[in-house]
A and B are shown apart, each in its own frame.
Chain A
Amino acid sequence: MKVDYEKTQIAEGVSLDVINDSKFSTNFASVRFVMPFRREDASAISFVPSILTTLCERYPTKIELNRKLLSLYNTTLGLGRSIVGDNYVVTMYVNCISDKNAYDGERVTEEAVSILIDCILNPKVTDGKFDQKEFDIIKLDLLSTIESEINNKRDYAQMLANEIIYVDEPSATKYYGTRETAEALTNEQVYECYKNMLSTADIEITIGGSELDNAKKLLCDAFSKLPRKSNNIVYYSGSKLKKETAVRNVKSDVQQTRLIMAYKGGTENVYVDKLFSAMFGATPTSRLFMNVREKLQLCYSCSANLAEYKKTLMVTAGIDENNCEKAAEEIGRQLKSIADGDFTDDELFQTKLMITGAFRANYDGIYELCMWYNVQNRRGTCYTPDEVIDIFNSVTREQIIECAKSYKLDTVFTLTPQNQPKGPEQ
């Protein structure tokens, strides 16, 4: 299937992706800032999109801005923050209905995009500071987020595990930093961070949907005139395998143990890595699901997930502490089994079938298509989903075997219930 996709460089370090597709009722536009990650900046950077999407010069209170978004057929103004490889990515976006669906003839997309631009480039600033009242509220919210990180045990376990898996690397740090850096944040520091972000981060702009010409022009005009310098962002930064497997246990007030095993390795071909990780633990017929859950009945969930930019394969399970050792052994056994070539052509074919079906589903959402090309850009390619499916289907069993062989156990982390000591303590 053909995609009407166009990529242009509108200024140094500023790219614009446009995807035209009239079958959708919604349009999507995003602006991403990509910069090398420094731990000490995490809290300040994470703060920037929060304050930018709360108010701006044109809508100087959050009530006015939110009312405008509601009146624009519930246009969503959202934000995202993530650590990709060793980079920090800040995203701000709007999602709105396409103009053809507006019953009052309103030019919804143009207006939504102009709000996005205003929020990013014309924030409410006085004397080199953001609005102090909103700054204080957002700071309190950030501290609440840090306070509540223990609420979700799965994420909490992963966060603690990342500190060991990625020790001395940016990915060991949470995207919002630590309590100490958050508490120490000042309004001036956040504003300075914002100015730096505008002038030094790589900017990736994406717009998708229908009737986009005016909105596209607004984005070009706004972002092509910024004084800029490029960062030459490198997305891939494989995490270094430890000389000895790190084994760590943390006790907490939990009912169920969380087991996380990190393997490092991988090949030069991301699609081989993806296919292997799917066969190993990312489908309902994967080795981990069929053996650790169904055959040995050790847990409800056991799956593998590829951290692509860190060349790390993460296996996670929720399990009874008594079964941890048995599960870890079985996970290792299944990996070895694939590395030994102990799988059928049918197993490989069926995994391809399932994963390629999921790739094709990207044609069915404008957000998904925009994200698809964002990831393609990071990989330095611009394949359509169909082209990637062709690549996927050409992966051989030998490549899968080599890929499985490349992954070595780096870290075993467990978050276990209190009063049942086991394993070395932190």
Chain B
Amino acid sequence: MNYKKETIVNELNGESYVKVKHPSGLTILIWKKEGFTTTEALFSAKYGSVNNRFKRKDDADFVEVPEGIAHFLEHKLFENEDCDVFELYAKTGAMGNAYTSFEETTYLFSCSENYAESLRILLSFVQKPYFTEQSVAKEQGIIGQEIKMGLDNPDRKSFFNLLNCLYVNHPVKIDIAGTAESIAEITPELLYKCYNAFYNLHNMCLAIAGNLDVDEVLKICDEELIPAVDYQLDASVIDEPQRVAQSESVEKFPVGLPLFNIGYKCKPYEGYELMKKEHTASILLQLVAGNTSKLYNDLIDEGLINSTFDFEVFWGTGHFNIILSGESPEPATVRRRIDEEIERLKTTGLDRSEFEVVKKSKYGSIIKSYDSIDTCASYLLNSHFAGVDVFDLQKVLAEVTFEDVQNGLYEFFNKDMSAISIIEPISQNKEGECNA
């Protein structure tokens, strides 16, 4: 087949990967890692738990589907008409798996031999859905247990309670697996409806990294991919107002110490700007609350946080958030102290030399991550869906200035756009006895 192969080179170390827009509609990203033994392949649809409402150009209206259906579909695709997909991988020695996130459903394998055969299996089964009443009913039981397992996880509960505080409409606040009630509404017809909308090669990406031959990968793609018509899917999430739904959530749970998630809802970004804002926010978080910061060390010294304290920049289509989490005897005090520290830093300004140190550390983290084949494959996939190239990562980092980070104090930490989720302990008398 004739198509253009674009080579993207890392100026830092000379590594490169190949990018192809295949005639079938699929974007293919291939990163050969010299000297490595394993291969990791990710075949992914831009379809996650947030996509509960969509419209193809040939649909009259938007279709609304039950919560958790993307995750359900991921489970069901592992079973084709003849057998379980795991049985196919067993013959090649590959470890197959899949996951559903807020915005993607990804099928993957890793192996250290027979990658070509495993790639054929991957490309083939994802393009061949097979859903029946019986198989849907079976999966409702298994996923029901997965949902129950999640209900016993206080960190997950605290995180989703925070998202429900921060977001009024955005479906990121919905649990990826859905609920026992929502998955009970799922039928084979609905699964096919979702599959035909989202599992279109124009809406998908193959990312493969490690021990491989670029031409062989492309030859397999030529043979296995079924050309798709681009139905110009509209899966835009509904509008989100610039306010939080509520400032606080408190729930009781069987935990030792209170847990907290404190979030700041920010303006969402896209593409290259998103990547730059993520780096900027991440550097700022390290300066404000990292283990060399005044705030972190004061809170630790006063016993207000412990070693579980952590922070992240959490983003996706239509949302961008700063989240700080951990355990504390006084979560509300931690929240107040963070806000006070932000105000103090707005007055005193950040430390420029500290900024340079953190920036250097971020560079080190990027270098370290290139040693991992699965991280490289994930970088390929995530950068494609974010609309950038992998090696933009370090380019963007170099571009972040002290002033960008300083401005972030105003841009990312708006007190009026923040919320806290607290999980308080249920008092326990002794093992086996609980009082709510």
- Cα(A252)–Cα(B433), bound, Å: 7
A406 at interface (Cβ–Cβ under 8 A)?
Answer: no
B151 at interface (Cβ–Cβ under 8 A)?
Answer: yes
Whether B111 pairs with A148 at a CB distance below 8 angstroms is no
Whether B362 pairs with A151 at a CB distance below 8 angstroms is no
Query: Given contacts A25-B367, A151-B154, A285-B86, is CB(A297)–CB(B36) below 8 Å?
Result: no
Interface stretch of the complex, out of A85-93, A113-121, A139-147, A193-201: A139-147
A112 to chain B, nearest CB (A): 11
Interface stretch of the complex, out of A61-69, A170-178, A394-402: A61-69
- Cα(A284)–Cα(B308), bound, Å: 32
Task: Please give 14 more A-B residue pairs, beta carbons under 8 A apart, in addition to A74-B365, A149-B256, A299-B145.
Answer: A26-B368, A73-B360, A73-B361, A73-B363, A74-B362, A137-B301, A144-B306, A144-B327, A150-B255, A252-B434, A283-B95, A318-B145, A356-B93, A426-B431
A115 to chain B, nearest CB (A): 14
Whether A354 pairs with B360 at a CB distance below 8 angstroms is no
- Which residues of chain B are within 8 angstroms of A301 by Cβ–Cβ distance? 145, 149
A337 at interface (Cβ–Cβ under 8 A)?
Answer: no
Query: Could you say which interface size class chain A belongs to?
Result: 35 or more
Whether B434 pairs with A253 at a CB distance below 8 angstroms is yes
A395 to chain B, nearest CB (A): 16
Interface stretch of the complex, out of A230-238, A260-268, A359-367: A359-367
B168 at interface (Cβ–Cβ under 8 A)?
Answer: no
Whether A364 pairs with B256 at a CB distance below 8 angstroms is no
A269 at interface (Cβ–Cβ under 8 A)?
Answer: no
B154 to chain A, nearest CB (A): 6
Query: Could you say which interface size class chain B belongs to?
Result: 35 or more
B411 at interface (Cβ–Cβ under 8 A)?
Answer: no
- Which residues of chain A are within 8 angstroms of B91 by Cβ–Cβ distance? 350, 353
- Cα(A290)–Cα(B256), bound, Å: 36
A111 to chain B, nearest CB (A): 13
Whether A364 pairs with B303 at a CB distance below 8 angstroms is no
Q: Decide if the interface of chain B is mainly helix, strand, loop or mixed.
A: mixed
Whether B254 pairs with A253 at a CB distance below 8 angstroms is yes
- Cα(A251)–Cα(B86), bound, Å: 36
Interface stretch of the complex, out of A40-48, A95-103, A374-382: A95-103
Whether A300 pairs with B143 at a CB distance below 8 angstroms is yes
B257 at interface (Cβ–Cβ under 8 A)?
Answer: yes
Please report which residues of chain B, range 141-184, place their CB below 8 angstroms from some CB of chain A when the two chains form the complex.
141-143, 145-146, 148-149, 151-155
A357 at interface (Cβ–Cβ under 8 A)?
Answer: yes
- Cα(A366)–Cα(B372), bound, Å: 10
Per-residue contact bits, chain A 323-361, to B (CB 8 Å; 1 contact, 0 not): 000000000000000000000000000110110111011
Q: Which residue of A lies closest to B78 (CB)?
A: A284
- Cα(A97)–Cα(B370), bound, Å: 11
Query: Given contacts A300-B146, A360-B38, is CB(A71)–CB(B361) below 8 Å?
Result: yes
Query: Given contacts A25-B371, A144-B327, A357-B94, is CB(A151)–CB(B255) below 8 Å?
Result: yes
B357 at interface (Cβ–Cβ under 8 A)?
Answer: yes
A256 at interface (Cβ–Cβ under 8 A)?
Answer: yes
Whether A255 pairs with B152 at a CB distance below 8 angstroms is yes
- Cα(A294)–Cα(B92), bound, Å: 21
Q: Which residue of B lies closest to A362 (CB)?
A: B37
B358 at interface (Cβ–Cβ under 8 A)?
Answer: yes
A319 at interface (Cβ–Cβ under 8 A)?
Answer: yes
- What are 18 pairs between A and B in contact, CB < 8 Å? A67-B357, A70-B360, A74-B361, A101-B367, A140-B306, A141-B307, A144-B308, A146-B256, A147-B257, A151-B154, A252-B254, A284-B90, A350-B91, A354-B94, A358-B95, A360-B113, A361-B110, A364-B36
B14 at interface (Cβ–Cβ under 8 A)?
Answer: no
- Which residues of chain B are within 8 angstroms of A72 by Cβ–Cβ distance? 364
- Cα(A137)–Cα(B298), bound, Å: 11
Whether B432 pairs with A425 at a CB distance below 8 angstroms is yes
Interface centre among B89, B358, B428, B432 (most CB of A within 10 A): B432
B111 to chain A, nearest CB (A): 5
A244 to chain B, nearest CB (A): 23
Per-residue contact bits, chain B 232-266, to A (CB 8 Å; 1 contact, 0 not): 00000000000000000000001111010000000
- Which residues of chain B are within 8 angstroms of A2 by Cβ–Cβ distance? none
Cβ 8 A contact of B364, one of A73, A153, A255, A354: A73
- Which residues of chain B are within 8 angstroms of A137 by Cβ–Cβ distance? 300-301, 303
Query: Given contacts A66-B291, A71-B357, is CB(A23)–CB(B90) below 8 Å?
Result: no
Whether A418 pairs with B434 at a CB distance below 8 angstroms is yes
Whether B149 pairs with A256 at a CB distance below 8 angstroms is yes
B198 to chain A, nearest CB (A): 24
- Cα(A360)–Cα(B111), bound, Å: 9
Query: Given contacts A149-B256, A350-B90, is CB(A357)–CB(B36) below 8 Å?
Result: no
Query: Given contacts A350-B90, A418-B434, is CB(A293)–CB(B142) below 8 Å?
Result: yes
